[in-house]
Amino acid sequence: MRFDVDRGSGKVIVRSPNDVLGILHNDAHLAPSGARAIANGLEIDGHRDLAAQLRAAADEAEAATR
């Protein structure tokens, strides 16, 4: 799974070869707040590294729109 930032729209793009948590599909575009909410769920499920990467992408996306 990889997280990219669309600086133009301020969205986090989740690039995943498969379905994650039943809600993230290939190239899902998320608002920073949605990305953080999903990061919280990932952390609760024990995926701390992924959660940290997703939060960092959310921070970058939010900063891009300032």
pLDDT tops 90 at residue 66: no
pTM of the entire predicted model: 0.79
- Assign 2 to helix, strand or coil: strand
Beta bridge partners of 30: 12
Check if the beta carbon of residue 59 is closer than 8 Å to that of residue 39. no
- Sequence ranges of the domains in the chain: 2-64
Q: Would you state the pLDDT for residue 14?
A: 84
Work out the average pLDDT over 11-16. 85
pLDDT in tens, 17-61: 665 555 556 677 899 999 999 999 989 999 999 999 999 999 999
Q: Would you state the pLDDT for residue 19?
A: 58
